[in-house]
């Protein structure tokens, strides 16, 4: 096996195969290369059987890439080796042994829309308004409980206050409904795998013995449940290799815990630590900027990326009057750069999806092709949801959530009252609507409707049999024909119906890809549905022509020759909600670091002096993250200053801080840039800039609610937050 192209640190990481290993891999430092070569080294040089190796990634795309790279490096067939996401791995484990937990092995996996439907039903039964209790917010709370491995009864017992108690009770209702439907959500996949391991020692022992060499990519993104799962699996042999970067931990909102990677040595005192600091992606200018920004964080493992690509061009800065002007400036730059780069080489990154509108408007008016990541998802469209619901019911007859969607789609004259009678009977039987239909004759349902129900049941039973010997593409054709769904759309001559038919045809490109990779088998429907449920946003990112527009979060793990980062303003990025929370602010700075390090050759940083967002016009100061980049790395706009405008951009730079001494009520108070202050009228704020001296000293302050203000130091009724807090204590 050829390892000649590796640097010293990469080679050490590949050859350190025994015992715990932490590879702290900076952005663009070749971590995927190290992981794949390490796996290949175990197989080829150490003669480790492929079924003893486990590699866990965070996206299906990363798993596929790793599998393909390993296949190219070795002669042996590596298909017995598990290279998968956390969720895919847990599906395989649960498929084999979930019966120990009382679930059917043909369980369904709910998508976010199905989950919302369940919560809406619970709220309806409890006579609660969905406007007051947002189902998505409730699901976020439930997800947080599951990521912390907190069961409903524990959540209820530990609830503090009315809302906590209510949401934990809804959590209990939600889990009972899922259990009755033999359905799992994404968080259940991991939580129930852990529950299975805790309950059945023999099952845990089987996987501990099997996976003697464990690899975890993007370890900084693991939540508590994922951390616990990995720790359980690695307990026997302790040959665990985790790869990650504390500076790229940006998923706290999903439950990711940066302490997992920072405390790896505490969990494994015998661990070897290797830093990968040579970057093969970006120029020195780009990396110097990224290093300067992230150096302002305290919660990190220190490292300093160095470029393998040479100096590169300075980072261009764009200052626009408005978000519309910003959009046109970006499009003009894209056109200019298209002489040297393909459109597919370029990406525009923003903090929130709402920021994309003005840029998209500019693209629409130009002739430049573009694609957006994270827009309306193909699998969320009505006709695709209907088809998937049919497939889910065929696979798992207990799935009432899917059954209720298709029982009268297309219209069969099965009304709400009939469905309610079936639901009530199913609850009495502790069974499913599917089974309740068999007793329809005895439930006071009109005979005409009973005939229709029995006809539907026959169709579904026949499709279940067909699913065992048909390709997925053929099965989809049969479902659309046998259920009358195809007739419904073909008889409707509207443009909408034609569009829906085209989407169903497009769906068959997915099934054909699946069919090409697998021979026909009776568990293919389960495998297909599992794959569809676990598709992530990044799996849809391709390298085809067109400028990519996406959030900074979605860009993680990707790279582009040209990157535009837009909306670099205080209150936008960093966002208002984090400006007074040091930990959240550090997470935002890590997000800036991730965005910067996506760029290979060219980087433009953009801000607008005023911006219409969420229906409000805001005049925001320049982002502190832009001010943290040394000026010598930046290409200044012609006839413009980067660091000042009508709104007085802040200077949050590190190093010696300028101070202002203010005499207030006979007390000397020193104020420095970055101090948290309180104003009698404007409330809490942060000092962003200090100008002038003596009586003319002016303070620029970003207030939490009132926004940016400039105040004369001698006359402003200001006090430091720390001093106020000390007095209270």
Do residues 648 and 621 touch, judged by C-beta distance below 8 A? yes
Does the annotation count 31 as an active-site position?
yes
> Annotated catalytic residue: which of 217, 399, 587, 675?
217
The binding site consists of: 25-32
* Binding-site residue ranges for ATP: 25-32
Distances (CA, A) of 666 to 8, 490, 659, 660, 693: 62, 84, 18, 16, 19
CA separation for the pair 397, 464 (Å, rounded): 10
Question: How far apart, in whole angstroms, are the C-alpha atoms of residue 707 and residue 701?
Answer: 8
Q: Give the C-alpha separation, 24 to 264, whole Å.
A: 11
Q: What is the DSSP string of 84-149?
A: EEHHHHHHHHHHHHGGGGT--TT-EE--HHHHHHHHHHHHHHTT--TTTS-HHHHHHHHHHHHHTT
**Three-state DSSP class for 214?**
strand
SS3 671: strand
**Any catalytic annotation for residue 218?**
yes
- Going 156 to 162 to 164 to 169, the CA torsion angle's sign is positive
Name the nearest CA neighbour of 59 among 370, 272, 373: 373
Q: How far is CA 597 from CA 27, 60, 560, 603, in A?
A: 6, 22, 10, 10
Phi, psi torsion values for 183, nearest 5 degrees: -120, 150
Q: Which residues pair with 272 in a beta bridge?
A: 21
Choice among 598, 607, 611, 653 that is catalytic: 598
**Active-site annotation holder among 31, 33, 228, 607:** 31
Three-class secondary structure of residue 78 per DSSP: coil
Q: 10, 222, 248, 511: which is the annotated catalytic residue?
A: 248
Q: Where are the strands (E) in 238-290, listed by range?
A: 240-244, 272-276, 278-279
Phi, psi of 151 (to 5 degrees): -80, 165
DSSP for 298-343? SSS-----EESS---PPEEEEEESSHHHHHHHHHHHHHHHTTTS-G
| Residue in 32, 105, 259, 321 annotated catalytic | 32
CB crowding 612-647: b at 16 or more within 10 Å, else e: ebeeeebebbbbbbbbbbeeebbbeeeeeebbebeb
Catalytic, 32? Answer: yes
H or E segment at 2? none
State how far the Cα of 200 lies from the Cα of 196, in Å rounded to an integer. Answer: 6
Q: Judging by beta carbons within 10 Å of its beta carbon (0-12, 13-18, 19+), is residue 680 exposed, middle or buried?
A: exposed
Q: Which of 97, 218, 515, 628 is catalytic?
A: 218
User: What does DSSP assign to residue 689?
Assistant: E
Identify which of 157, 153, 143 has the alpha carbon closest to the alpha carbon of residue 225.
Answer: 143
User: How far is the C-alpha of 710 from the C-alpha of 682, rounded, in Å?
Assistant: 12
d(CA 236, CA 151): 27
Total number of residues shown for the chain: 729
Give the active site residues.
31-32, 217-218, 248, 598
């Amino acid at each position: 096996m050829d390892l000649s192209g590796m640097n010293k640190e990469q080679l050490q990481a590949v050859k350190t195969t025994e015992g715990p290993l932490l590879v702290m891999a900076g952005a663009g430092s070749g971590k995927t290369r190290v992981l794949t070569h390490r796996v290949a080294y175990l197989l080829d040089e150490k003669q480790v059987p492929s079924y003893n190796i486990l590699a866990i990634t965070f996206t299906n795309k990363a798993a596929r890439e790793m599998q393909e790279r390993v296949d190219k490096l070795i002669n042996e067939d590596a298909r017995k080796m598990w290279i998968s996401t956390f969720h895919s791995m847990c599906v395989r484990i649960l498929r084999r042994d979930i019966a120990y937990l009382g679930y059917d092995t043909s369980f369904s996996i709910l998508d976010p829309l199905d989950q919302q439907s369940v919560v809406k039903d619970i709220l309806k039964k409890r006579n609660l308004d969905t406007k007051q209790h947002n189902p998505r917010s409730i699901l976020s709370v439930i997800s947080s409980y599951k990521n912390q491995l907190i069961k409903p009864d524990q959540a209820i017992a530990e609830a503090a206050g009315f809302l906590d108690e209510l949401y934990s009770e809804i959590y209990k209702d939600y889990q009972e409904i899922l259990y009755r439907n033999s359905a799992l959500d994404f968080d259940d996949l991991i939580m129930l795998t852990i529950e299975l391991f805790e309950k059945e020692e023999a099952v845990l022992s089987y996987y501990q013995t099997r996976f003697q060499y464990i690899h975890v990519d993007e370890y900084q993104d693991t939540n508590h449940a994922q951390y616990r799962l990995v720790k359980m699996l690695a307990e026997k042999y302790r040959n665990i290799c985790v790869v990650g970067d504390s500076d790229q931990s940006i998923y706290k909102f999903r439950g990711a815990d940066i302490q997992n990677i920072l405390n790896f040595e505490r969990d494994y005192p015998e661990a070897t630590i290797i830093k990968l600091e040579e970057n093969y992606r970006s120029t020195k200018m780009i990396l110097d900027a990224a290093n300067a920004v992230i150096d302002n964080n305290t919660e990190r493992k220190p490292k300093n990326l160095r470029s393998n690509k040479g100096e590169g061009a300075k980072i261009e800065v764009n200052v626009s009057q408005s978000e519309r002007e910003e959009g046109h400036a970006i499009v003009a730059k894209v056109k200019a750069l298209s002489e040297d780069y393909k459109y597919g080489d370029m990406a525009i990154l923003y903090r929130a999806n709402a920021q994309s509108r003005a840029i998209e408007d500019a693209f629409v008016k130009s002739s430049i092709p573009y694609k957006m990541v994270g827009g309306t998802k193909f699998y969320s469209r009505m006709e695709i949801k209907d088809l998937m619901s049919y497939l889910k019911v065929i696979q798992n007859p207990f799935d009432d959530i899917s059954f209720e969607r298709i029982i009268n789609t297309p219209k069969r004259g099965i009304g709400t009252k009939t469905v309610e009678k079936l639901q009530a009977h199913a609850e009495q039987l502790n069974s499913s609507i599917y089974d309740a239909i068999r007793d329809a004759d005895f439930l006071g349902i009109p005979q005409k409707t009973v005939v229709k129900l029995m006809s539907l049941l026959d169709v579904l039973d026949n499709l279940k049999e067909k699913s065992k010997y048909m390709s997925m593409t053929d099965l989809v054709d049969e479902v659309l024909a046998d259920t009358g769904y195809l007739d419904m759309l073909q008889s409707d001559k509207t443009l909408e119906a034609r569009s829906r038919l085209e989407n169903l045809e497009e769906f068959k490109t997915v099934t054909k890809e699946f069919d090409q990779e697998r021979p026909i088998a009776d568990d293919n429907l389960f495998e297909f549905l599992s794959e569809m449920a676990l598709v992530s946003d990044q799996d849809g990112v391709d390298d085809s022509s067109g400028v990519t527009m996406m959030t900074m979060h979605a860009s993680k793990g990707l790279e582009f020759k040209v990157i535009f980062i837009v909306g670099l303003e205080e209150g936008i990025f960093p966002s208002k909600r984090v400006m007074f929370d040091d930990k959240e602010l550090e997470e935002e700075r890590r997000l800036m670091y991730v965005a910067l390090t996506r760029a290979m050759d060219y980087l433009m940083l953009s801000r607008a002096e005023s911006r219409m967002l969420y229906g409000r016009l805001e005049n925001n100061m320049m982002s502190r993250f832009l001010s943290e980049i040394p000026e010598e790395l930046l290409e200044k706009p012609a006839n413009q200053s980067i660091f000042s405008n009508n709104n007085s951009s802040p200077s949050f730079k590190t190093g010696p801080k300028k101070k202002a001494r203010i005499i207030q009520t006979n007390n000397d108070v020193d104020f420095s840039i970055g101090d948290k202050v309180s104003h009698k009228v404007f409330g809490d704020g942060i000092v962003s800039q200090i100008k002038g001296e003596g009586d003319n000293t002016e303070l620029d302050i970003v207030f939490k609610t009132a926004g940016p203000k400039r105040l004369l130091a001698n006359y402003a009724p200001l006090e430091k937050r720390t001093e106020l807090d000390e007095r209270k204590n």
